[in-house]
């Protein structure tokens, strides 16, 4: 877990905190959008699409929280 924070901190320092937050919001939204477009055409995957999108949303929120905490801890640490 510590390695994750160190890795995230390094990436955030390299690209800047605001870019990291934008990436944390934008990347999962883009992935979710592409996945929903791919799965929307198939009726069999209709129910699974909601599970997948909700999982991606939870993952995105988790990543956002971790990114913001790393930025805040990096600024004040």
Percentage of the chain modeled with pLDDT above 90? 0
For residue 77, pLDDT over 60 is answered with no
Return the pLDDT at 30: 72
Each residue of 2-49: pLDDT tens digit? Answer: 666 666 667 666 666 677 677 777 777 777 666 666 655 555 555 666
**What pTM, to 2 d.p., does this model score?**
0.37
Confidence of residue 67 (pLDDT cuts 50, 70, 90): confident
Return d(Cα 59, Cα 61) in angstroms, integer. Answer: 5
Alpha carbons 23 and 19: distance in angstroms, whole number: 6
């Amino acid at each position: 877990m510590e390695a994750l924070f160190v890795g995230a901190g390094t990436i955030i320092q390299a690209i800047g905190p605001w870019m990291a937050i934008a990436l944390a919001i934008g990347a999962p939204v883009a992935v979710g959008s592409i996945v929903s477009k791919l799965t929307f055409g198939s009726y069999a995957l209709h129910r699974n699409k909601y599970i997948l999108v909700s999982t991606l949303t939870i993952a995105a929120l988790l990543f956002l929280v971790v990114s913001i905490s790393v930025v805040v801890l990096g600024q004040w640490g």
